Amino acid sequence: MRYIVVGAGAVGGSIGGRLHESGRDVVLVARGAHGAALRADGLRFTTPEGTRHLRVPVADGPEDLPLRPDDVLVLAVKTQHTAAALARWAGRPVAGGGLAGESLPLVCAQNGVENERLALRLFRRVYGMCVVLPSSFLRPGSVTAACGPYTGVLLLGRYPSGADGTARRIAADLEGSVFRAPVVTDVMRFKYAKLLGNLTQTVEALCGPVAAGTPAGELAERVRTEGTAVLKAAGIDFADAAELAALRRGTVEPRPVPDGERALGSAWQSLARGAGSIEADYLNGEFVLLGRTHGVPTPVNETLLRLANASAAQGRPPGTTAAAEVLALLDAPA
């Protein structure tokens, strides 16, 4: 199997880098300054073992890469870029006949729950992946994954449910590449739990590190409480926090790295890079959508969504919004 990683940032670069190191056939898809850096110097990949430059093949997109019937597409772009990426790849011919959307498996190695829905419109074989992989991408060409003894836990299953031989083959390759990769039949149950946890990312992107007993901690607690109420009102089953914590315990724990850069979550990194967009529409925005559908007020998620999008559009650095001011805004009389 050849792994084509579409979006070689923190998650995609870590998955592709580890697969490459274990001898798997990998292509990283990246454009702009990041793609240029990967071509010039390879992937600068930092883990607790050290920093190395991996000469992984790089492509700009499907036009540069004849597809084979043994290819696996790993989608690792932010959700706001998913529709465009799917449109570029689904109609590409595969050697031997057929199109990518008809025959190739596509794995959504992404936060949120919208990616799989978008993918299933264009791809017949869609797999969800619940990604527990603390990593960072702050500079073109460089990815840091600072955990051990495993780089991450990647739960994998067929979307909308089930498991098959392809999932087990992918999982076996990942298990041989410094990941834990359990195959589950209810992957979206874990992805909804991860989505709930991702709400804290928006708080830390706006307000900085979240700690109990601080205004940021209170804001994070409020948004999680609101999100939990929404999922319950919608009748959506989700794993509890203890299940996710058990996946990480003793397997994905912070480890020192020789020269990696300190970073918070992916939303924080988007603001730090000045990316111009942020994934909040598909994190907080998912709860806003569900709340409006099922009659549950979502003032905390709506407020954080508005502030996050404004920060990204205005190029504001992460951590420059005072959590106390957000709380005062939420508590102000209507």
Strand order from edge to edge, sheet including 25-29: 58-59, 25-29, 2-6, 71-75, 105-108, 125-132, 152-158, 179-180
- Is the Cβ–Cβ distance between 185 and 162 less than 8 Å? yes
Which residues share a beta bridge with 128? 108, 157
pLDDT of the residue at 124: 98
How high does pLDDT run on average in the chain? 96
pLDDT of the residue at 98: 96
The 10s digit of each residue's pLDDT in 269-293 is 999 999 999 999 999 999 999 999 9
Burial of 175 (0-12, 13-18, 19+ CB in 10 A): middle
- d(CA 62, CA 27) in angstroms, rounded, equals 11
- Is the Cβ–Cβ distance between 231 and 291 less than 8 Å? no
The 10s digit of each residue's pLDDT in 96-125 is 999 999 999 999 999 999 999 999 999 999
Instruction: Using the structure block, give the residue that is written with the tokens 């290819």.
Output: 71
pLDDT of the residue at 320: 96
Specify the DSSP class assigned to residue 63.
G
Q: ∠ CA 92-97-99 to the nearest 5 degrees? A: 30
Q: Spell out the alpha helix ranges (H) of 22-107.
A: 32-41, 82-90, 100-103
- The residues, ordered by sequence, that sit 6+ positions from 25 with a Cβ below 8 Å of its Cβ are 1, 2, 3
pLDDT of the residue at 259: 75
Low-confidence ranges of the chain (pLDDT < 70): 260-261
- The residues, ordered by sequence, that sit 6+ positions from 281 with a Cβ below 8 Å of its Cβ are 79, 80, 305, 309
What's the whole-model pTM score? 0.96
- d(CA 59, CA 12) in angstroms, rounded, equals 14
